[in-house]
Every structure is written in C-alpha cells, then in structure tokens.
Structure 1
C-alpha cells in the first residue's frame, strides 16, 4: 500500500507551521499559485490553479496512518485532489500525494474587504527562503498570480493564526520583493 503524502505550496512549506513528518522539497507540474478569496473565509489566501505551462516548488510531507482529518481541518476551504503523477520528489518508495485547491466556482479576486494578510505572506516566504533559498523564494513570487490584490499590513498584530517571527533579513526580503511586484500595502485602520 502506498504511503499518503500531501504537497504544500503555501504556508505548509514553512515546516514551523506543522508537525507532519518527513517533509521534503518537491515540485508540482501543471499548476501555479494564485491569491483568491472565497465566501468561506474573510481574507484572501493561496490556492493552486491548473496551468499546463507552469511548475511550482513546494514541500511534501507524510500523513501518518492515512489520517487526513487534521490536515483536512486546517485546509477546510479547499478540496483535496490526487496529484501523485504531477509531482517530482526524492522518495524511493510508493507514495500517493494529494494537493489542496479551492474549487474554481468558489474563487474570487481579492479586494478591499478581502485582502491578503502580510503575516500570511511572511510565513509563506519564510518557508520558501528556508527550504529553497532566495532563488526558490523568487520563483514563489514569479509563479504566483494576484500580486495586484490589496495587502493588509498586520505585522504589529498578526491575524494569520500560524504567524511566525521573521528574522530581519527575511523581513527585508519580503518587503523588497513586494516592492518589485508593485504590491499595494495598507496599514490597519
């Protein structure tokens, strides 16, 4: 029987946000990331969207005893989609890998009332910096759509439930790359 794994491409890349075992860098072919919001959550978040011309870096990790309940709860606004054949990874044994994505019919473009949280971006980029270095973090920005969405600077009082403390060079990297993509960042009123 194949071991169950998931492919994370956002906050799950940051292994400080979970304790799933055996995290490994991997790559998902035929998908890219996009910032979206749904009627299920008050803020925008990342989802994977099909794109046959794209590949995205991420992390796979083991789901012990095939117990998906905790991960399904964390990713409750997403559908779990089989993706084994689309993922390249270093494992040598038989695995089944799933990716989480928001159903297309529930996706909306982020807007003022549904911004991206800067504390969420920080967590994701910190994960990419630590797992893939600056080149991998740059690929994260390049393979993610929706940087024109409003971003709420909540660093002083993080609203993202799994926020992490960034080191000064990590914060500088995030701020620099957000400038490069001409991000619109607003302060909490």
Structure 2
C-alpha cells in the first residue's frame, strides 16, 4: 500500500518548513483559504474552508509509513479531512490525500485583536513564489479571505517558529501583496 499524502496550502507549501521529500504542486477544488481566529495562539490561522466553486493551489506530499504524529502535532488546531477525490495532481496513481482545516464554529472570523504574523506570511509567500511564481503569489492574495485583520510586523524578531530568511524580491512580493489587499500593518 502506498503512503498517504497531505495537501498543504499555507506554510506547508514552503518545502523549507518540512522534510517530506515526495512533494508535488497540486490543486484542490471545493475549498478556499481564509484567516480564522485562534484563541490558542491569540492570532489568526490560515485555514481551508469549504467553498463549492473555489479552488486552492498548493503542494501535496507523502507521509511516509502513514506516520501522521509529527504533522498532526504541527497542525494542532486543525482536523484532517479526506480530500482525495478533490485534488488534481501529477502523480500517476490514485492517492489518499488529507487536507487540514479548522472547525469553523470554534475558529470564527477574526477581528482587530487577531493579527496575522508577518513572519508566517513571509514563509507562505516564499513557498508560493518558489512553487508557482508571481502568478501563484498573486492568486494567494486574491483568493484568501479576511484581509481586514491587522498584520503584525514581527520581521525583526520573528514569532513564527519556522520563519525563513527572504531575499529582497520575496520581501517585495509580500509587501506588494499586502498593499493590494489593503492590509493594515501594525508594530510589535
């Protein structure tokens, strides 16, 4: 039996944040990305939310030996959902594919007290740029819900535990994307 896969649509798109070697660009239909409030972290989490007419580009990666423990710990606020039938991918065999998403009742639409970490957003955009180029970054910003929340500028002292160094072009892509969606940047 082959290993199961996960579908990543946020930081898991950035291969620098994990060590799952069998990874491929993919697309899931019937889902959309949205920032959701997390009481556990006092900030926003990026989640997939059901959306019949939408899709998310991302990355699928094999979970060797179906050992979900480390990934489930990393994605602690999320539940795994079967997305096998909804994912288009280049692998030429049927795959079992899970997508992580939060419970929308426990993780409501965020407000002004639930910022997005810029260090997290940097990681996400870096991953989309690497996998999908400028068009992928633009699509990420255009199709993610709830940009009304503040973005906490923690670049100088990153809070996100898997933060990455960005090159100047990547930093510019993040900053341009935030400007396009009218994001409000706040300091630490």
TM-score by length of 1: 0.96
Partner of 1:147: 147
The answer for the alignment partner of 1:53 in structure 2 is: 53
Q: Which residue of 2 aligns with 1:105?
A: 105
Alignment partners' CA distance in 2, 1:85 and 1:2: 16
Q: What SS class does the counterpart of residue 55 from structure 1 fall into?
A: strand
2:128 corresponds to which residue? 128
Return the alpha-carbon distance in structure 1 between the equivalents of residues 112 and 30 of structure 2. Answer: 30
Offset of 1:2 from its aligned partner? 4.2
- Give the Å deviation of 1:143: 1.4
2:17–2:162 CA contact under 8 A, matched in 1: yes
Unpaired stretches in structure 2, ≥5 consecutive residues? none
Which residue does the alignment assign to 2:13? 13
Q: Provide, for residues 43-94 of structure 1, a one-character-per-residue CA deviation record: whole Å limited to 9, x for no partner.
A: 1110000111111100000000010000000001000001000000000123
1:110-132 CA distance string (max 9 Å, x none): 23332100111100000000000
Structure 1 distance, partners of 2:139, 2:100, is 20
Q: Say which SS state the counterpart of residue 50 (structure 2) adopts.
A: strand
SS at match of 1:3: coil
TM value normalised by structure 2: 0.97
